[in-house]
Structure 1
């Protein structure tokens, strides 16, 4: 499923126009991204939580040459599925 499919399904389920639903989906995603960028955790009950995680610096290997390279520390987004979501996926 892509964003267009999501907009179509929500539009059909709610009776709202695709334009309105698309705007709501965009603003929801923007708000989640902005909050995680600020270092905040975003929890959606039953769905899951988004939060930034810090990865420490480490050594890696160049697969072509076998040469050691330094991989710098960085911050990455992380998603953890909620219990309800996990239970539904498991059947």
Structure 2
């Protein structure tokens, strides 16, 4: 089972006392802050919950899975998400 955005908004509204509209606005604001911060190269850390950061990927040689031909993959950026202590504890106790 997984939560989709609608389920998550409902859960946030129920736990916080916010309306679903306000909870959805808060979730949208979090999304915007994450995107803007990562685009600027800034890490986002919520102590105990998670940290999200932009990481550099070096150029490398890969292989086309259909043809087996070697291809050149240029350098770029990726996103690294690390679970905080609260998340790690939550999944290790069940």
Q: TM-score, normalised by structure 1?
A: 0.93
2:78 corresponds in structure 1 to 76
TM-score, normalised by the number of residues in structure 2: 0.90
Unaligned ranges ≥5, structure 1: none
Q: 1:26-46 deviations in whole A, cap 9, x for unaligned? A: 001110111011000110011
1:2 and 2:12 equivalent? no
Aligned residue number for residue 28 of structure 1: 30
2-side partners of 1:21 and 1:48: how far apart?
20
Tell me the number of residue pairs that the alignment of Structure 1 and Structure 2 aligns: 91
Root-mean-square deviation over aligned CA pairs = 1.0
Give the gaps of 5 or more residues in structure 2: none
